[in-house]
Structures are given as structure tokens and as C-alpha cells.
Amino acid sequence: MNKRIIILFSFVIILLFLTSIFYSRITSDDILLKYNSEIDIEITTLKNNRGVLILNDTVAIFENTPRVNIDHSKTNLYSKFGQLHKPFRLVKKNNKNTFIVIKDSDTLEYKILK
């Protein structure tokens, strides 16, 4: 009888712990950059989480987001958003399906993936 109570209590504690982790992840301030988002920030931290880049712990963008208007006669540097390295500036206007990245002296335009 004592072992059953200990096992049940342990199970409840583990379940509460996992629920709290899951809840904190759902209510996170991370946002996926969308069509109706507007943002203008300097990116100083980048984390890769299974193909999604978390920028400054507040904005999430897919790693394989494609660049638009690539001049194929030149190098395909930064052809995917995941190839960028910090620091850079990210600017997106409301109701646009593209955003701009200002990296060093380059202005790069990327299309938001749905």
C-alpha cells in the first residue's frame, strides 16, 4: 500500500512538472513573423530551434526563408535567411509579405513563408 502511494505521488509530481514546462512554452513571448506583423529591431542574439530561428528571444522566423530578387550573376550569399550572422537590423512593415535585413552595407529582402 505504501509503495502505491509513493508511485502515485511521484507520477503526479512528474506530471505537474511536465505541464508547467509545456505551459511556459505555449505562453512564450516568441512570435512567428507574419503578414500583419510590424517590426524594426537590431538583432543581437540568434538561436536555432529545429529550423526556426529565434531572434533576440522575441521574434521567430523559419531558417529556410528565401531571399527575393537575387542577382544570379553574383554570389548567392545569404540566399536563405538562416545563412545570416548577427548583428543585423530587421525591418518589416505591416501587411507586407516581405521583410528587409540590413547587414553591413547590404540591404537584403526576404519573403515570409506561410
Digit-by-digit pLDDT tens for the chain (114 residues) are: 688 888 899 999 999 888 877 666 554 545 788 888 899 999 999 988 888 888 988 888 999 999 987 766 555 678 889 998 889 999 999 999 999 999 988 889 999 987
Integer Rg of the chain from CA: 20
Is pTM beyond 0.75? Reply is no
Q: Nearest-CA neighbor of 56 among 77, 34, 40, 37?
A: 40
Give the Cα separation of 27 and 39 in Å (integer).
20
Q: Are 86 and 75 in contact (CB under 8 A)?
A: no
**Could you tell me which of 75, 110, 73 has the C-alpha nearest to residue 92?**
110
Q: How many CB atoms are closer than 10 A to CB 43?
A: 20
